[in-house]
Amino acid sequence: MMENPILVDIYRGGVLESFHRGVVCIVDENNQVLFSLGNINQVCYPRSAMKLLQVLPLIQHGGIQKFGFTLEEIAVMCGSHNAEAEHLRVVASILHKIGLTAEYLNCGPQYPSGKKEANALIKADAKPQHIHNNCSGKHAGMLAMCVLKGWPVEDYINPRHPLQQLIMDLCARFFEYPKEQMVTALDGCSAPIFSVPVINQAIAYKNLSAPAAFEPALQEACKVVIEAVSQYPFMVAGTKRYCTDMMNITAPAIIGKTGAEGIFCMSFTQQKWGVCIKIDDGKMLPQYNIAQAIVEAVGLFSAEQLQPLQHYQTSELKNFNQLVTGEIKVNNNLLEALKVMATDNKLV
């Protein structure tokens, strides 16, 4: 198998020390590939980038009307949150509205992703709970769907549970990929996850902003998800997190969601484009470097507007003494190719 190209370089003292290979795919409204580097048919797991799809059945089937969910609550269902106080408040509110407690969450106890919050637990000699898991919002949303439909809540993460079967069917439609070819595995939070080629993950994020092929209730659900993460990007991640920082500036024109093992997916809602980035070695920082390079290349926002995100494209690397040791930045070949793509599509 041919190697994927180098997308991100790491320099120390001006010398190339290491690098990250991977795949980038951008598709248009008609699923035509506008831009690609690497093997776009490479199969991998969307991981948490799939959360924006997993919440759709709840919205489609009337969950907002039944329980009175707010857009903020929908946003945390889409999120991989830091377990900051506001995140825990919103997840608890979801559980209260559906008449369940945090004990019903089955995502696994996890120290908060936010260092401040994790340190506070340690200082208090308290153990992390399921609600601290970065996926607790997604799981609260899954429990809400079970309550809505009268399904058992005890085994809602079982791949054979009607909830997970419904999610799988919907995901196959959005990925435009046969569910018979999707391998079901378990995500870090123990919920089922499905293997899909990179190009189909890009197609799914295109379908979020161009859902005309779906029934009206599902079209409306897509609009709600985009509105929710656009209005409440803090719920999608949190302090000093790229998803939040990016969407604070770019949403609703550009929305994006990270996934473990080097996945980042985006939807350009005006152009009706879908994007998927996959870093081969699974490192998390390079995906943000590349996502930021794409955001800058398309020219929808000025350099001044994007200035708060500048450190994501080229990031200083520091040692334990906080001395700058080098930098991580997008490979020049990728940057040049992105410029050509933007020019060819008359975006800049």
Distances (CA, A) of 199 to 36, 203, 294: 9, 6, 16
Please give the Cα distance from 118 to 84 (Å, whole number): 9
* Residue 89 within any structural domain of the chain: yes
pLDDT band at 345 (very low <50, low <70, confident <90, very high): confident
pLDDT in tens, 263-275: 999 999 999 999 9
Give the torsion sign (CA, 328, 246, 237, 337): negative
The pair of structure tokens assigned to 331 is: 């490979």
Say if 331 falls within a structural domain.
no
Mean local confidence (pLDDT), 218-235: 98
In the chain, what percentage of residues exceed pLDDT 70?
A: 99
Can you count the helices (H) and strands (E) in the chain?
Answer: 15, 12
Q: How many domains does the chain have?
A: 1
Predicted local confidence at residue 331, as pLDDT: 95
pLDDT of residue 313: 83
Q: What does each C-alpha distance from 65 to 58, 62, 151, 166, 321 come to in angstroms?
A: 10, 5, 18, 20, 53
Q: Please state which of the ranges 120-124, 277-281, 312-316 shows the lowest mean pLDDT.
A: 312-316
Q: Is residue 147 part of a domain?
A: yes
C-alpha span between 52 and 265 (Å, rounded)? 10
Q: Provide the domain limits for residue 303.
A: 6-326+337-344
Q: Considering the domain boundaries, does residue 189 fall inside one?
A: yes
Sign, CA dihedral 248-254-255-258, equals negative
| pLDDT tens-digit series, residues 94-145 | 999 999 999 999 999 999 988 899 999 999 999 999 999 999 999 999 999 9
Q: How large is the average pLDDT for residues 69-79? A: 98
> Percent of the chain, pLDDT > 90?
94
Residue 34 has phi, psi (to 5 degrees) of: -85, -30
Q: What is the band of 315 on the pLDDT scale with cuts at 50, 70, 90? A: confident
| 8 A C-beta contact, residue 197 and residue 23 | no
Cis bond before residue 197 (omega within 30° of 0): no
Mean predicted confidence (pLDDT) in 217-242: 98
What is the tens place of the pLDDT at every residue in 49-70? 999 999 999 999 999 999 999 9
> Does residue 106 lie in a domain region?
yes
Q: Residue 299 — left, alpha, or beta (φ > 0 → left; ψ -120 to 50 → alpha)?
A: left
Does any domain span residue 320?
yes
Lowest pLDDT segment from 70-74, 113-117, 257-261: 113-117
Model pLDDT, residue 2: 73
Average pLDDT over all residues of the chain: 96
The answer to whether position 1 is within a domain reads no
pLDDT in tens, 139-170: 999 999 999 999 999 999 999 999 999 999 99
Q: Does residue 221 register a pLDDT over 80?
A: yes
Residue 332 lies in a domain: no
Could you tell me the pLDDT band of residue 173, with boundaries at 50, 70 and 90? very high
Is 202:276 a contact under the CB 8 Å cutoff? yes
Give the per-residue pLDDT at 127. 94
pLDDT exceeds cutoff 60 at 348: no
Q: Which pLDDT score is estimated for 346?
A: 64
Instruction: Return the pLDDT at 172.
Output: 98
End-to-end CA separation in angstroms for the chain: 35
- For residue 216, the domain's CATH number is 3.40.710
pLDDT of residue 113: 87
CA separation for the pair 246, 233 (Å, rounded): 9
Structure tokens at 347: 């975006």
